[in-house]
Structure 1
């Protein structure tokens, strides 16, 4: 590559990986948009969680262990930072207990990033934050498609009469016409539900829904093809709830669901996603460090974020 990207992680030879300010993979902590392709954005909000709180510390937990990651992707045989200029944008100043004010902060910042052709990768936080991300990006790109890895559909109408929680963001997004369900897909749903018709209700809304039982019968390549056929070339947001994985691999999360996939199975599904998709944003949510022994959940979350960056680098390389 002739033109080296402006921003990337510091070189491993300059200092041990465990030293320095805790940014994602030791990326520069700046809020620039010029000559920036990707911004990792901390979204430390958890007061819309329905069970365990503490995911407000997810961004810091992911950043802390991300220093263990090395720059080159052995699976794709690429150093993504040779192709993409990447920064750590820092944490947005979200307001605990005030979800609508928090949504405004996210919306404004994400619109700003999108207007400057920067792709954000959000570090949650509970899953309610995704509604704010979709709002900001849709102001620039129009209604978005969704690729949603999760044990839960998050399309419930309310919790305790409250419309805005981490279990309701995608129903709200449909109501606001910022999400196109007919080009969206939910992957990995499982566990107990409030009503036997919950999964069918999501399908009736227009989502393609793949339960964990169904997913186990698919290869990474066949899932990639199904996602590609569903999304086509529409602007797409990928949201990944860490509880997609079995709790044996992600103990540090707020609503664990037994019977999920292993870490290698989930990574393999992400790695095989088509590089031809029109990604406009990503997030990784529901990491709860206080329950995360040996930082295994945060490390897996950091690795998923790295795979997002690698997908975007593959796109850059193929142009």
Structure 2
């Protein structure tokens, strides 16, 4: 057993921190760790902050999910990536937060269950990004702060609740990583974001522009958020890009309004059969050093990869291209991100939620303070 621990110490930097006071870890984790960990004060102790300089860990006690090498993935209460849960964003660099609504959905409901299923599937995530060598848990204090207490009977009241919740999150200096919920939520979130940062740039990945004015007599819904954001001056329109737009439309040019505002529109046809890394180099130049919000609708991906969504459109992006877009945001001044429209009832395999969980992990890995090896 000692040789296993010695080899682990020399070859990996998986768990470097202790759970921060005030946070709670998934049920049973502490007991399992105490049984499998050498005594406190020994050379390798998972119950205290890593302070061994040779392992390049910060002395700060970051929250680190338990490794599946020692704690079964199926154990414990599901939190995002099996991170500790805490009630507020106080003291956090970034926080995973759920907004479980589908009241603004125009077609298939079920996105209210998205945050819950994303958390369940996120148990497969590990501590490091093998593709980029990002080490978020060595550089960011992150936790799951639960869900906004939405009103599933009143969409306008829900928007008010979301806006107020995000004002509190942003007031702490924390960057929210949001699990939706339908795309309506981007509107009140961006209201709170713009209050703190001023008009922001937007990287919007979606099959739909979500710039409708009125749908069935209503001005608030998952097809209207970015029209409302423009009207209220929440966006820096010269720093907005919409990627992956496609499908049938209500007019010959469904994206005319977006272009008229100064948005860069990248239709899905422009993305077929190619890497999107060159595109993202152009996007980084467009965004500059100002604050940027990343909004990723899972229906940007082809429904062959992500069928669990409310308004699927064929001939979409691949998961590889989705990852390229997010990784291409590295270096931007990201002030918030969301992953929306996961509707578990339409994908009984859980693969859509699993994809969403991985994309959220990629978002965390491109936040400004993230360490890379």
TM superposition score normalised by structure 2: 0.82
- 1:317 maps to 2:352: no
- 1:292 maps to 2:347: yes
In structure 2, runs of 5+ residues without a counterpart are 1-56
Is the partner of 1:195 in helix, strand or coil?
coil
Aligned partner (choices 213, 220, 225) of residue 269 of structure 2: 213
Which position in structure 2 is the counterpart of 1:121?
A: 177
| TM-fit CA distance, 1:31 | 2.2
Instruction: Indicate if the aligned counterparts of 2:114 and 2:343 stay in contact, CA closer than 8 A.
Output: yes
Q: After alignment, is 256-265 or 186-195 more displaced? A: 256-265
| TM-fit CA distance, 1:185 | 0.6
Which position in structure 2 is the counterpart of 1:168?
A: 224
User: After the TM superposition, which parts of structure 1 deviate over 6 Å for at least 4 consecutive aligned residues?
Assistant: none
Q: After alignment, is 239-248 or 27-36 more displaced? A: 27-36
Which position in structure 1 is the counterpart of 2:361?
A: 306
Aligned partner (choices 233, 236, 258) of residue 177 of structure 1: 233
Aligned partner (choices 29, 33, 40) of residue 89 of structure 2: 33
Larger relative contact order, structure 1 or 2 (CA cutoff 8 Å, min sep 6): 1
Is the partner of 1:154 in helix, strand or coil?
coil
1:168-216: CA deviations, max 9, x gaps? Answer: 0000011111112111110000110111122122101221100011123
Write the distance in 1 (CA, Å) between the matches of 2:329 and 2:293.
Answer: 14
| TM-fit CA distance, 1:136 | 1.0
Which position in structure 2 is the counterpart of 1:244?
A: 300
Instruction: Indicate if the aligned counterparts of 2:62 and 2:137 stay in contact, CA closer than 8 A.
Output: no
Question: Equivalences for 1:1-319 in 2 at 5 Å?
Answer: 1-216=57-272, 219-271=275-327, 273-312=328-367, 315-317=369-371
CA RMSD of aligned residues (A): 1.5
Q: 1:6 to 1:31 in 2, by over 3 A?
A: farther
1:265-314: CA deviations, max 9, x gaps? Answer: 3223322x1422110000000000011131110000001000001112x6
Instruction: Indicate if the aligned counterparts of 1:152 and 1:190 stay in contact, CA closer than 8 A.
Output: yes
Write the distance in 2 (CA, Å) between the matches of 1:80 and 1:87.
Answer: 12
Is the partner of 2:371 in helix, strand or coil?
helix
Is the partner of 1:73 in helix, strand or coil?
coil
What is the aligned residue count? Answer: 316
1:232-283: CA deviations, max 9, x gaps? Answer: 1111110000000111001110000000122223223322x14221100000
Is the partner of 2:134 in helix, strand or coil?
coil
Instruction: Indicate if the aligned counterparts of 1:212 and 1:260 stay in contact, CA closer than 8 A.
Output: yes
Which position in structure 1 is the counterpart of 2:27?
A: none
Instruction: Indicate if the aligned counterparts of 1:276 and 1:315 stay in contact, CA closer than 8 A.
Output: no
Write the distance in 1 (CA, Å) between the matches of 2:338 and 2:199.
Answer: 17
Write the distance in 2 (CA, Å) between the matches of 1:255 and 1:136.
Answer: 27
Write the distance in 2 (CA, Å) between the matches of 1:5 and 1:201.
Answer: 48
Write the distance in 2 (CA, Å) between the matches of 1:4 and 1:216.
Answer: 44
1:128-165: CA deviations, max 9, x gaps? Answer: 01101101111111111110000000001111111001
In structure 1, runs of 5+ residues without a counterpart are none
| TM-fit CA distance, 1:227 | 1.1
Is the partner of 2:235 in helix, strand or coil?
coil
TM superposition score normalised by structure 1: 0.95
